[in-house]
Structure 1
Amino acid sequence: MRSEEREAAARRFGALVTQLAKDKGIAVESGAGGRQELARKLDTNVSMVSRALDGRVLPQIWQYAKWAKVLDCPLRDLMVESGVIAPEDWPEAGPAVAPSVTSPSQPLTPERAADEWRITHPLIRRGLIGAIENAVAMQAEDDARSGIEGDAAAQTVP
């Protein structure tokens, strides 16, 4: 992505996440406390959140999944609407999961899921794998807090 494209994407991302935060009732105006709340939920610092909300920087690729989760927005929508990727690079309706994905002979990994869904674009692939890894980790934490034991709590991403 060229410098001017990156700057435009940062501005679009900032406007989008600012609106999403406001829609969730998070006051993100400077000094209102919402930026600190977002930083805590995103496990980052207030400076990074402020620069992103102000449209000055884009998150690292692995951070998009966290932003999407915190703002209750589909990852694809966040990335496409902010202009980080083109809509044609991440079609809305992906192919159905191939039967081999559920084969007990091979464990399901984020990489294998991306392969089975024929996700080859590097940015989309990294975003998908990061989102899956985040989801598995968050589920394991939730299971641990809830006292769930057994297979569900023991699942980890290899």
Structure 2
Amino acid sequence: MRSLEDSHHGTRGSRQAQARRVGAYLTAVAIAAGYDVRRRQGGRAQLAAVTGLSLATVCRTLDGKTLPLPSQLTKWAAGLNLDHRVMLLESGFIPEQQQLHLAGREVAAAALSPDEAMNAWGITDPIIRRTLNGTIVHAIRLQEELDADGGREAALRG
């Protein structure tokens, strides 16, 4: 957890505003996901459990009192089933000038390794992971072969 006083970027006021924006965004997303994040309603403790963050960190973040660390943002995204990049943009964590730069074009999804994809899907059984990993690796190789042959096949069809 990063206290507002610890950040070396921006003024204290801009850091406080950013913490409030991130907190408001995560609160709205958590409510939309079915968590009752009002104090003493249990939703904050449930969020702590699904994100792996401490209850104090969850509370301070939702209340806009602190900015999450990058590793904590990843846990928020995983716990709430959010796309990390979308979360960064919509919460205002990425500065506005970068948002404007990205607004005119579609942001390509980052390539995931098979392990990252299985983690995101919540697949934990080692046998299923091994089987799926082999299938994904095989599918990637087949697609690469098709892409390499695609120009030749298109010329023959054209």
What 5-or-longer segments of structure 1 have no aligned partner? 98-109, 114-130
| The one of 44, 52, 57 aligned to 2:61 | 52
CA distance in 2, matches of 1:47, 1:31: 13
User: Normalising by the residue count of structure 1, what TM-score does the alignment of the two structures yield?
Assistant: 0.62
Correspondence 1:8 to 2:25: no
Taking structure 1 as reference, are residues 61 and 137 closer, same or farther at Cα in structure 2, changes over 3 Å only? farther
Measured after TM superposition, the shift of residue 79 of structure 1 is 1.3
What 5-or-longer segments of structure 2 have no aligned partner? 1-8, 137-158
| Rg larger for | 2
CA distance in 1, matches of 2:95, 2:127: 39
Matched ranges for 1:34-49 at <5 A: 34-49=43-58
Q: Structure 1 counterpart of 2:39, which letter?
A: S
On the 8 A contact 1:39/1:45 being kept in 2, the answer is yes
The alignment partner of 1:64 has SS state of: helix
Correspondence 1:69 to 2:50: no
Correspondence 1:33 to 2:14: no
CA distance in 2, matches of 1:72, 1:85: 19
Measured after TM superposition, the shift of residue 76 of structure 1 is 2.1
The alignment's C-alpha RMSD in Å is 3.3
CA distance in 2, matches of 1:58, 1:64: 9
Comparing 70-79 with 82-91, which one deviates more in the overlay?
A: 82-91
On the 8 A contact 1:143/1:152 being kept in 2, the answer is no
The alignment partner of 1:15 has SS state of: helix
On the 8 A contact 2:29/2:80 being kept in 1, the answer is yes
Matched ranges for 1:5-154 at <5 A: 5-86=14-95, 88-89=97-98, 91=102, 93-94=106-107, 135-136=116-117, 138=119, 142-144=123-125, 147-150=128-131, 152=133
Taking structure 1 as reference, are residues 11 and 140 closer, same or farther at Cα in structure 2, changes over 3 Å only? closer
User: Normalising by the residue count of structure 2, what TM-score does the alignment of the two structures yield?
Assistant: 0.62
Count, aligned residues: 123
Taking structure 1 as reference, are residues 57 and 133 closer, same or farther at Cα in structure 2, changes over 3 Å only? farther
Deviation string 1:62-90 (CA, Å, 9 cap, x unpaired) is: 22122122223322222122222125536
On the 8 A contact 1:65/1:134 being kept in 2, the answer is no
Q: Structure 1 counterpart of 2:91, which letter?
A: S
